[in-house]
Amino acid sequence: MARDAGVVYLLIAIAHLCSCARYGSYDYNHYVEYSLENEKICHVLNKKHTVDMQHGAAAIVMPHHMFDHWVVKANRNCTFVFRTGKNEGLFAVVQKMFLRRDGDRCVDYIRFKRSDGFYTSKFCGEIDRSQTTYLPVPEPEDNLGNINDSRSPNYDIYSEYDPVKRSKLWSIRSASATIETEIFISKERVPDGQSLDLTIVYTPYMKCDQANSEHYQAVGYNNCIRKEYICDKIYNCPFSICTDEVNCVVNDRYPKDNTATKVTVGAVTTMILCFIIFILCLWICKKSQKLCWSSDCAGPNVCSRPVSLPDADGGQGSNRAVPTAPMLEVAMSSPVVDKDLPPSYDSLFPEQSNPARS
């Protein structure tokens, strides 16, 4: 019984280790992940949904399989809103993007809208923050085509932020930050060798004098985000507003692999780990005489039973040990008397047999 329990515990440990290896290979353990296929993010009828963010947890929006084979008959519009809690602001930063451009015109585009109604310009093209630490981008324009003087010359247009709202005594509703995101994907065919891509991270932040120092860390200009988002290889802060990926350990910052590479590495690691543990399990079972190495796991061996050989004289009356299958009885019939025997000697020569008897 003790050995059986040990084998069961070993199998449970194998399942647990394999599951840990599988889910430990992802980057976004502390992020609430939303796929572009989610109806709250990209509704088929372009209905706008509002997603409430809780407890300062950041969210990441990325495609799962939407852009794998972009063959559609209609343009795709997606509009969604992220809303923070009380006394929180919100950062929205594009991590990776490949949206098509035709000269100065965006074939596909994305833009943000703050709670005060301000729209960013439509932007497209290709960026990858894992490969770029500085984006020398032009100044964004407002809705009338005028330069927004309130922003620094090096402002990151591939991001947006909604500041922390001041609480008003006469206001019934609590002030919260919101960022609306509009995504447009054209139905035009994607050229061979290209693949659409888009990953956006939304991070709530607080003023450091109102944040809990045990859970929040300063990132500049009296802004604080949760500590688990510091030096996690994901840019939560817009450039020139704050910094969360500087002064990090080199081994923790570079290289920054994409999701597909990490999933592949995680899958291969899981397979190797499970194979090694499986071999170890077989070795332990063999040492403990379990499973196929046990002499009594399949019952007594029929072939090992002794079988008596027939007598040398071939006597018919001798008892023979016949191997029998379980639950089968073999009926041994007595020898059949041959009815066509030759006539006896007395019947053939009666004259010779009678004097002998007399």
* pLDDT band of 19, cuts 50, 70, 90: very low
Considering just the CA atoms, what is the radius of gyration of the chain in Å?
Answer: 41
* Cα 194 from Cα 192, distance rounded (Å): 6
Helix (H) or strand (E) holding 95: strand 89-99
In a domain, 4, yes or no: no
In a domain, 276, yes or no: no
**pLDDT for res 102:** 92
* Cα 223 from Cα 244, distance rounded (Å): 11
**pLDDT for res 302:** 46
Q: What is the CATH number of the domain that holds 245?
A: 2.60.120.290
Q: In this structure, are residues 37 and 63 in contact, taking their beta carbons and an 8 Å threshold?
A: yes
User: Closest by alpha carbon to 91, among 63, 116, 56, 117?
Assistant: 56
Question: If you average pLDDT over residues 200-217, what whole number do you get?
Answer: 95
For the segment 69-107, what is each residue's pLDDT rounded down to a tens digit?
Answer: 888 888 999 999 999 998 999 999 999 999 999 998 999
User: Closest by alpha carbon to 122, among 186, 183, 178, 78?
Assistant: 183
Matching residue, tokens 């991270």: 201
**pLDDT for res 141:** 41
In the numeric block, which tokens belong to residue 221? 């200009």
**pLDDT for res 147:** 35
In the numeric block, which tokens belong to residue 168? 């008003």
The number of domains in the chain is 1
Question: If you average pLDDT over residues 158-185, what whole number do you get?
Answer: 84
The CB density around residue 290, as the number of other CB atoms within 10 Å, is 16
Q: What is the DSSP letter of 311?
A: P
The CB density around residue 135, as the number of other CB atoms within 10 Å, is 16
**pLDDT for res 50:** 95
For the segment 312-346, what is each residue's pLDDT rounded down to a tens digit?
Answer: 454 454 455 555 555 544 445 555 555 566 777 77
Most confident of 5-14, 20-29, 146-155, 300-309: 5-14
In a domain, 70, yes or no: yes
In a domain, 107, yes or no: yes
**pLDDT for res 72:** 83
* pLDDT band of 145, cuts 50, 70, 90: very low
In a domain, 137, yes or no: no
pLDDT of 254 above 60: no
In a domain, 285, yes or no: no
In the numeric block, which tokens belong to residue 187? 């139905």
Helix (H) or strand (E) holding 99: strand 89-99
Domain interval for residue 169: 29-132+154-250
In a domain, 15, yes or no: no
User: Closest by alpha carbon to 71, among 218, 187, 233, 203?
Assistant: 187
In a domain, 227, yes or no: yes
Matching residue, tokens 């019939």: 333
* pLDDT band of 265, cuts 50, 70, 90: confident
Order across the sheet with 178-185: list the strands.
Answer: 49-52, 76-83, 178-185, 109-114
Matching residue, tokens 């440990």: 13
Helix, strand, or coil (residue 178): strand
